[in-house]
Structure 1
Amino acid sequence: MNRHTGLRNLRGWLRGTWQEWRSAELRVLAAALVVAVAAVAAVGFFTDRVDRGMADQAASLLGGDLAITSRSPVPDEWVDEARERGLQSVRSAALPSVLFGADDQSRLSSLRAVDPDWPLVGEARIRDPYGQEHTITHGPEPGEAWLEGALLNDLGLEPGDTVTVGRRDLEITAVLTLEPDRGSALTDLAPRLMLAYEDLESTELIGPGSRVNYQFYLSGIDSVVEAYTDWLEPRLEPGQRIQGLEDAAPELRAAVERAERFLGLASLMAVLLAGAAIAVAAHHFAQRRADSAAIMRALGASARRVLAVYFGRVLLVAVIASLIGLALGFLAQFVLSALLGDWLDGDLPPPGLRPVVAGLGVGLITAAGFALPAMLRIGQVPPLRVLRRDIGLPSASVWLSGALAVAAFGALLWWQAADPQLALWVLLGTAGALLILGLLGAALVLAVRPLRDRGGIALRFGLANLSRRGGLSAVQLVAFSVGILALLLLAIVRVDLLEAWDASIPEDAPNHFYVNIQPGEQEPLADRMEEAGLERPQMDPMIRGRLVAINDLPVGPGDFDDERTRRLLDREFNLSYADEPPEHNPVVEGHWTLDQPESDGLSVEAGLMERLELELGDSLTFRIGGRAVRGSITNVREVNWDSFRVNFFVTGAPALLDEQPRTYITAFRLPEDMRDAQSRWLRDFPAVTAIDVSAILERVRDIIEQATRAVEYVFLFTLVAGLTVLFAAVQATRDVRRREAALLRTLGARRRDIRNALLAEFGTLGFLAGLLAAIIATVIGALLAWQVFDFDYRVNPMTFVYGIGGGTLGIALAGWLGTRRVLDQAPLTVLRGPE
């Protein structure tokens, strides 16, 4: 074949493809791919921008090229060694504390003490007393304090005033407006006060059990930083950790990665439904092109040639649709950025090419995986069909179709989840859920079969259509149910769970915690609170200890694969001791023996027992203040960590722990009108840290609300994909409906009767889909409440009202809009034409 012949054939193929574009099947296939690629691309563009932003700001977020965190002050040896190697270094310390301002107003804040050379990397911004913004590269001078604006307002202070920090009065010289290396820990949610590192000791806030986090930041040439790391690693003590750029803002990074993964998996729901629409559209496309394929075969074209022509057209449409989906996804990601903008500081950089490649890959893999089975059938059409039109396409291979679809979806899952085990579980869960939905859908279709002989002609004909096309009806029912289910879970069940969660919290649940209460202060503090009109609080001892051995065998983070367990062993436990088990911590295994004289018993939380693979009778050794303390497990407690009460992983016998260094902690409910009284008594106990749980819960709820809105937004693509499945299914039966309508009109049926029959068919389908979705949404809500959140769940009747009502009306309307042109064609034209 010469060059001119090849160009002529290509032009002919493109012309034929353009003509094919007028077919509804290819338009449905293209629409499904646009939705799928747009959903994945929107998430992909957003997450790529986040990843690039975090990579660009890693050093600023970390505070340097290297950071060391510690529960104890940084040794002078480390500082001297860094200086000798030519590295720049800065020390920092952070702790929560209550501040006092004008008129004894108090506010929980996050204190941070820094060296003069702070920030080591990046720039900070402050506003001077004259309202001028300044970019600075140094910390506060001794005797000075910088406060965030919110903290100034809460305390009723202004620049130039004095703020009391523990036992030290500091002059407010500036408003802190930007802190480049601010942490993302929960304690850092409180507004910030920054002071000089050398002023920290004079505040007298540091004592045994104080919750102080020390940091040591370094910056310099990469090779020198690596050499210093090698020197430092053997000198690290338990509780000290080296962080590199990949560890910058670990809590934020972990949260963002989980959110990205969840949004990515949510977007694949749209891909799954789009794949179903593609499969239906491709099947109908192959069915309608059987005559053309037979003619090509009769003229000598091979099966491979026929397959290449038609599958090539599908792939060309897939490429164009994917490009359109990428453009829409790029626009849609700006909405995600707005919804989740509070998660990150600063503007996000533009995305790279990775989401473009990924979006095109999603489009082509989805098109190939779900459309190829139908295309293989069109390649095998026999030439004899030219003479005998009763010869149809070869039967579809259910196993081949299923295997290709599963392989395509599994590949997308593995790519999106970046975790083979997670991808496998999601794939099995999706397959199981679809199987259950399919079985229930088929059962519901069979259940309406006895009703097709009742009612008017429109209802009888509509129900008869559902029964006659039982397999297709079941597929449509599953697709519609998934879309309605997603909407119900997000719009109704989510609200029910939140309301049930709020209802599970007692009206008198504690909303404040006091920690770091020093020995000898617990009784005077309790007296002051009781005198103010509060119920006398219980003061629980709290001891910091590191688990170093189980059954006398050394144990450390490297002995476990689970990341959560590793983190648990990498820090100190909060231990306590008690004569009696707490009322809110029931003993579920073993016996309480901690009240016996000279007992060395330990009571351990059930989750920790499972995580560390412990059993009754095992011994645990903790290092407390440089001394090893060993005890034996005598009972297991069930701890409800959402009870807003004081809870501990491990509680020991008083005889074992009451001589150890300790502070005290208490939880109580503070009425809103007693906040001023709290400020007065806390002034006499400056080391006490007050934590307002209601404020923290409000912040957590804000984050959850943002994430929920983002997921709802992504699920909009799923709903659109569900409508695409509906349209594809309607188009797949269009020719049959045309002939049925023509026969009915020839036999005297009125247009109104046929229209009512179509509305009855789709309305019944919507009713069944809504009922099925409402039942499953209620079951999922109950399981989440019972198994995950551990509270009672009450069925909301509105779930069924919205599910059934919305499904019936919505799908009836969509079905009628998709088939109304059937009624506009003359019966004689339809009956004379080809099937």
Structure 2
Amino acid sequence: MNQVSIVGQAFRLVRRELRSGLRGFGVFLACLFLGVFAISAIGSFSAAARSGLLADAGALLGGDLEIRLSQRPVSPEQRTFLSRQGQLSEVLELRTMAANLNNDKRALVELKAVDSSYPLYGTLPIEPSQLPAMALSHTGSTFGALVEQSFLQRLDIKIGEQLRVGEATFTIRGVLTAEPDRSLRAFHLGPRLLISRDALEASGLRQPGSLVTYRYRLKLADRDQAESLKLILQERFPDTGWRLRSWREAAPRVRFFLDRMETNLSLLGLCALLVGGLGVSGAVRGYLNGKLVHIATMKCLGASSRLIFTTYLLQILLLGTIGAGAGLLLGSSVPWLLTRIAGNALPVPLHPGFYPLTLLVSGSFGLLIALLFSLKELGIARRIPPAMLFRGYLENKRTGPGKKIWLAISICALILALIAILSSSDKQLAIWFIMGAGVCFVLFRLLSVAVIYLVHLLPRPKSPRLQLAQANINRPGAPAGGIIFSLGLGLTALVMIALVQTNLNDMVNDTIPEGAPTFFFLDIQPNQVAPLETLLAEYPDSRIDRSPTLRGRITAIAGIPVAEAQIASNVSWAVRGDRFLSYSAAMPTGTQLAAGNWWPRDYSGPPQLSLTSDLAEGFGVGIGDSLTVNILGREISAEIVNLRNVDWSSLNLNFALLFAPGVLENAPQTHLAAVHLPAETEDEAYQAVTERFANISVISTRDVLQNVSRTLNRIGSAFQGMAGIALLTGFLVLIGAVSADQHRRIHDAVIFKICGATRRDILLIFATEFTLLGIIAGLLSALIGSLAAFAILKGPLNVPFSLHPNVILLTLVVGIGLTLVLGLFGTWKALGGKPAGFLRSE
């Protein structure tokens, strides 16, 4: 019989097989559906977000080209040149305090001052609807202001009421529902306050050295000329020290975040799919168990092993396509659903669409998993003779699937790994995941086998029920190995993510009692230093650590431009924009030198620099190398003379870059102070400082840490959701493993009944078995999940690790409880098995 006729016959047999429905393939379809849905949903969301970012790049950046400067505006010559290139818009941003004039409540806000051209792209939606120019206009003795909803809640203020910012009074005229040029950020220190450029001048907040960010946006006649204009600006004004971004580079951090999120969540989705592969294997095995007589009959009537294998392979592929297709359909609709439900509330613009590559990758994962975990069972069934099939091949020693099948399985696994690596934005992480998944699978398989063997070696308990439960775990063909394997993997993922998130929250929350400052005071003008310190000295047990501050951007490392330097990923943040820096004659309190010596207090030589050890290692520099920093348009190259170890988690006042005296004293600057106050005087001091110094921004350490904690919780929720899908898949695998073994449990129940056991006895035997399996799976997952969390926290994240018994206990309770419930649910039919009917069939 040639291959074409075999395939034709196989299709006819498949059609007849499926006439009876999809009974027995519920777990198979559910596992594929969940895994493919998770991967395609994440991929579709990320693709829609990237497309939305590209489509709205001009609005997100605020123009076709953005010129950014810190603490100083462009020169008149530069402004004139920019104005000739296209339509120019100027936006100023700073943090300051705002006060409600009705109740005197004060809060830190993120202020944005705009001109009449804002926004160059997009619209500024306001409630109630009005033109931005009218909302921000000067009427009577007050300026107009627009705020976001959280501003009203923070200051307990309403539209139409007045507030004070600096020396100016504002009337709130509307609520911002969105800002076209405000991209996703990890967290913010205060709600948005939008005012006009003229209003900022009237407030008196813009002083020499103030921490103001100047953004100049250009709308060009041809936006594709933005890159060439960047080169012209760099050549014409080479020493300006500004940061230039074209519309193609809009929201780079958002893209970076999306890439990392997609990679991490997709790998977790693939983990769920791999766990679901066990359910696929169990469902195929259970289905074939129900087809023993059918397969044996076909073989006796002359059907070849190849025909039988092709028939059931095509059936698996068809059903796999159905399960994966359903997952793809729902996953690809996620961007549309989010857009309709959330709309403008989404942190990034979505552009829902059909993304073939994303769907192709997700669908390939599903079909490859279906093949990978089905081929072995199909190969075993193909090689067993009819006589053994009539007796039930699980009752006998099972033969292997054969070399060709093992080769096909290896090829499927290789293709799966290659697709996972090639489709990931972080190839190294994907490789580590593939290796880790392989090790985890092997480890759990070995542990499940070892545990079952150890159970066999345990002394026989006196209780008959415990004896039978113990025997059920290590008997031939028992599903114990699959249950421990699948449930353990799902619980391990959940334990690992829960411990990582809990420890990160501990790191944030536990910092407060350990001597962290109560407040940080920003933008202190030099003439305000003495009065501020005098005011704070009136409060008992107060302490203030103060340093002059400027902002600068690292432009060269050891003489090599930053764009060409090799920089470790963990310190790349230091060269992405402007950084706070300072100078000091004396070594700051608590400083630990890792290398080199501190300069003399009266040092007056060439520029010298103290650098933190982590930056030095990430930059690949040491004592004697140089670092070039652009400060207020001036390039300063300083020799690194010492390295410091800094514990940033302490929140004590410190700087990554600290200059020797004699370089920055005459530059426009402000001061930054970390203030320690007793809890009972916090509110009084806050009120006194914000009343007397309207321009000083006050940041509460507690509020910042709570903001970080909320951010971690939001990110952690996404990862917990994916771990939950892996766990749910593990439970489906558990049901499938129990269902596949149902015929054996019916046989056992019948024997127990013949021997005089009641239904209650049988129920207790099965309950004891599944309780033992739940304890074993919970203990293994608690151990391995804790070790994995420890490796992540102490490795890439470099944060302290503590073992939380409550998380471990919850894991054990969940593992035992759900294994017991699902196990008994899956074996309920066995309790009703009638001895007479079974004996007649024998």
Instruction: Pick the TM interval, shorter chain.
Output: 0.7 to 0.9
Deviation at 1:765, TM superposition (A): 0.9
Secondary structure, in 3 states, of the residue corresponding to 1:118? coil
Question: In structure 1, what is the equivalent of residue 547 of structure 2?
Answer: 540
| From 551, 556, 562, the counterpart of 2:562 | 556
Task: Label 1:798 to 1:124 Cα distance change in 2 as closer, same or farther (>3 A).
Answer: closer
Secondary structure, in 3 states, of the residue corresponding to 2:28? helix
Question: In structure 1, what is the equivalent of residue 700 of structure 2?
Answer: 692
Matches within 5 A, 1:631-710: 631-654=638-661, 662-669=669-676, 671=679, 674-675=682-683, 677-682=685-690, 684-710=692-718
Question: What CA distance in whole angstroms lies between the structure 2 residues aligned with 1:731 and 1:187?
Answer: 48
Q: Is the contact made by 1:74 and 1:91 (CA closer than 8 Å) also made in structure 2? A: no
Q: Letter of the aligned partner of 1:221 in structure 2?
A: D
Question: In structure 2, what is the equivalent of residue 134 of structure 1?
Answer: 130
Q: Letter of the aligned partner of 1:216 in structure 2?
A: Y
Question: What CA distance in whole angstroms lies between the structure 1 residues aligned with 2:662 and 2:763?
Answer: 84
Per-residue Cα deviation, 1:482-502 (whole angstroms, up to 9, x for no partner): 223344455677446534642
Question: What CA distance in whole angstroms lies between the structure 1 residues aligned with 2:766 and 2:100?
Answer: 73
Deviation at 1:581, TM superposition (A): 4.1
Deviation at 1:557, TM superposition (A): 2.7
Question: What CA distance in whole angstroms lies between the structure 1 residues aligned with 2:83 and 2:583?
Answer: 45
Q: Is the contact made by 2:67 and 2:243 (CA closer than 8 Å) also made in structure 1? A: yes
Deviation at 1:745, TM superposition (A): 3.9
Q: Is the contact made by 1:122 and 1:180 (CA closer than 8 Å) also made in structure 2? A: yes
Question: In structure 2, what is the equivalent of residue 587 of structure 1?
Answer: 593
Task: Label 1:59 to 1:663 Cα distance change in 2 as closer, same or farther (>3 A).
Answer: same
Greater Cα shift, 4-13 or 631-640: 4-13
Task: Label 1:420 to 1:503 Cα distance change in 2 as closer, same or farther (>3 A).
Answer: closer
Question: In structure 1, what is the equivalent of residue 537 of structure 2?
Answer: 530
Question: What CA distance in whole angstroms lies between the structure 2 residues aligned with 1:304 and 1:541?
Answer: 81
Matches within 5 A, 1:8-87: 10=11, 12-19=13-20, 21-22=22-23, 24=24, 26-71=25-70, 72-76=72-76, 80=80, 84=84, 87=86
Matches within 5 A, 1:270-309: 270-286=272-288, 289=291, 292-293=294-295, 296=298, 299=301, 301-309=303-311
Q: CA RMSD in A?
A: 4.1
Task: Label 1:416 to 1:279 Cα distance change in 2 as closer, same or farther (>3 A).
Answer: farther
Is 1:147 aligned with 2:154?
Answer: no
Question: In structure 1, what is the equivalent of residue 434 of structure 2?
Answer: 427
Question: What CA distance in whole angstroms lies between the structure 1 residues aligned with 2:104 and 2:838?
Answer: 88
Question: In structure 1, what is the equivalent of residue 373 of structure 2?
Answer: 370
Is 1:210 aligned with 2:210?
Answer: yes
Q: Letter of the aligned partner of 2:417 in structure 1?
A: G
Task: Label 1:792 to 1:505 Cα distance change in 2 as closer, same or farther (>3 A).
Answer: farther
Secondary structure, in 3 states, of the residue corresponding to 2:180? coil
Secondary structure, in 3 states, of the residue corresponding to 2:544? coil
Per-residue Cα deviation, 1:645-683 (whole angstroms, up to 9, x for no partner): 212112233366656654321112455765465454445
Greater Cα shift, 337-346 or 478-487: 337-346
Question: In structure 2, what is the equivalent of residue 731 of structure 1?
Answer: 739
Aligned residue pairs: how many? 824
Q: Is the contact made by 2:627 and 2:638 (CA closer than 8 Å) also made in structure 1? A: yes
Q: Letter of the aligned partner of 1:264 in structure 2?
A: S
Deviation at 1:177, TM superposition (A): 2.0
Question: In structure 1, what is the equivalent of residue 580 of structure 2?
Answer: 574
Q: Letter of the aligned partner of 1:716 in structure 2?
A: G
Greater Cα shift, 259-268 or 638-647: 259-268
The gaps in structure 1 that reach 5 residues or longer are none
Task: Label 1:756 to 1:221 Cα distance change in 2 as closer, same or farther (>3 A).
Answer: same
Per-residue Cα deviation, 1:55-110 (whole angstroms, up to 9, x for no partner): 4433322222333323342455565556555x333122212222345276543222
Question: What CA distance in whole angstroms lies between the structure 1 residues aligned with 2:192 and 2:99?
Answer: 14
Identical counterparts, % of pairs: 27
Secondary structure, in 3 states, of the residue corresponding to 1:665? strand
Q: Letter of the aligned partner of 2:211 in structure 1?
A: R
Q: Letter of the aligned partner of 2:14 in structure 1?
A: W
Deviation at 1:763, TM superposition (A): 1.6
Question: What CA distance in whole angstroms lies between the structure 2 residues aligned with 1:189 and 1:384?
Answer: 75
Matches within 5 A, 1:81-100: 84=84, 87-100=86-99
Question: What CA distance in whole angstroms lies between the structure 1 residues aligned with 2:51 and 2:333?
Answer: 18
Deviation at 1:356, TM superposition (A): 5.2
Question: In structure 2, what is the equivalent of residue 819 of structure 1?
Answer: 827
Task: Label 1:595 to 1:301 Cα distance change in 2 as closer, same or farther (>3 A).
Answer: farther
Question: What CA distance in whole angstroms lies between the structure 1 residues aligned with 2:631 and 2:620?
Answer: 23
Task: Label 1:144 to 1:427 Cα distance change in 2 as closer, same or farther (>3 A).
Answer: same
Deviation at 1:418, TM superposition (A): 3.2
Q: Is the contact made by 1:497 and 1:781 (CA closer than 8 Å) also made in structure 2? A: no
Matches within 5 A, 1:418-817: 418-451=425-458, 453-469=460-476, 473-489=480-496, 494-495=501-502, 498-499=505-506, 501-506=508-513, 508-533=515-540, 535-551=542-558, 553-560=559-566, 562=568, 565=571, 568-593=574-599, 595=601, 597=603, 602-625=609-632, 629-654=636-661, 662-669=669-676, 671=679, 674-675=682-683, 677-682=685-690, 684-782=692-790, 794-817=802-825
Task: Label 1:422 to 1:379 Cα distance change in 2 as closer, same or farther (>3 A).
Answer: same
Task: Label 1:141 to 1:349 Cα distance change in 2 as closer, same or farther (>3 A).
Answer: same
Greater Cα shift, 496-505 or 369-378: 496-505
Q: Is the contact made by 2:296 and 2:390 (CA closer than 8 Å) also made in structure 1? A: no
Q: Letter of the aligned partner of 1:560 in structure 2?
A: Q
Greater Cα shift, 147-156 or 66-75: 147-156
Task: Label 1:333 to 1:435 Cα distance change in 2 as closer, same or farther (>3 A).
Answer: farther
Deviation at 1:320, TM superposition (A): 2.1
Task: Label 1:304 to 1:448 Cα distance change in 2 as closer, same or farther (>3 A).
Answer: closer
Q: Is the contact made by 1:492 and 1:799 (CA closer than 8 Å) also made in structure 2? A: yes
Secondary structure, in 3 states, of the residue corresponding to 1:539? strand
Greater Cα shift, 360-369 or 346-355: 346-355
Question: What CA distance in whole angstroms lies between the structure 1 residues aligned with 2:10 and 2:788?
Answer: 56
Q: Letter of the aligned partner of 1:369 in structure 2?
A: L
Question: In structure 1, what is the equivalent of residue 261 of structure 2?
Answer: 259
Q: Is the contact made by 1:751 and 1:823 (CA closer than 8 Å) also made in structure 2? A: yes
Deviation at 1:312, TM superposition (A): 0.7
Per-residue Cα deviation, 1:441-478 (whole angstroms, up to 9, x for no partner): 33333332233512322211221232234995334212
Question: What CA distance in whole angstroms lies between the structure 1 residues aligned with 2:347 and 2:637?
Answer: 46
Task: Label 1:338 to 1:47 Cα distance change in 2 as closer, same or farther (>3 A).
Answer: farther
Q: Is the contact made by 2:794 and 2:801 (CA closer than 8 Å) also made in structure 1? A: yes
Question: What CA distance in whole angstroms lies between the structure 2 residues aligned with 1:9 and 1:283?
Answer: 19
Q: Letter of the aligned partner of 1:305 in structure 2?
A: L
Q: Is the contact made by 2:742 and 2:830 (CA closer than 8 Å) also made in structure 1? A: yes
Q: Is the contact made by 1:146 and 1:176 (CA closer than 8 Å) also made in structure 2? A: no
Q: Is the contact made by 2:567 and 2:620 (CA closer than 8 Å) also made in structure 1? A: no
Question: What CA distance in whole angstroms lies between the structure 2 residues aligned with 1:800 and 1:115?
Answer: 56
Question: In structure 2, what is the equivalent of residue 268 of structure 1?
Answer: 270
Deviation at 1:332, TM superposition (A): 7.7
Question: What CA distance in whole angstroms lies between the structure 2 residues aligned with 1:467 and 1:387?
Answer: 25
Deviation at 1:254, TM superposition (A): 3.3
TM-score of the two chains, using structure 1 as the length reference? 0.86
| From 383, 396, 400, the counterpart of 2:401 | 396
Matches within 5 A, 1:191-206: 191-198=191-198, 200-201=200-201, 203-206=203-206
Question: What CA distance in whole angstroms lies between the structure 1 residues aligned with 2:474 and 2:387?
Answer: 33
Question: What CA distance in whole angstroms lies between the structure 1 residues aligned with 2:193 and 2:21?
Answer: 68
Question: What CA distance in whole angstroms lies between the structure 1 residues aligned with 2:731 and 2:161?
Answer: 63
Deviation at 1:123, TM superposition (A): 1.7
Question: What CA distance in whole angstroms lies between the structure 2 residues aligned with 1:173 and 1:340?
Answer: 26
Question: What CA distance in whole angstroms lies between the structure 1 residues aligned with 2:259 and 2:781?
Answer: 30
Deviation at 1:315, TM superposition (A): 1.2
Task: Label 1:45 to 1:224 Cα distance change in 2 as closer, same or farther (>3 A).
Answer: closer
Task: Label 1:333 to 1:722 Cα distance change in 2 as closer, same or farther (>3 A).
Answer: farther
Question: In structure 1, what is the equivalent of residue 320 of structure 2?
Answer: 318
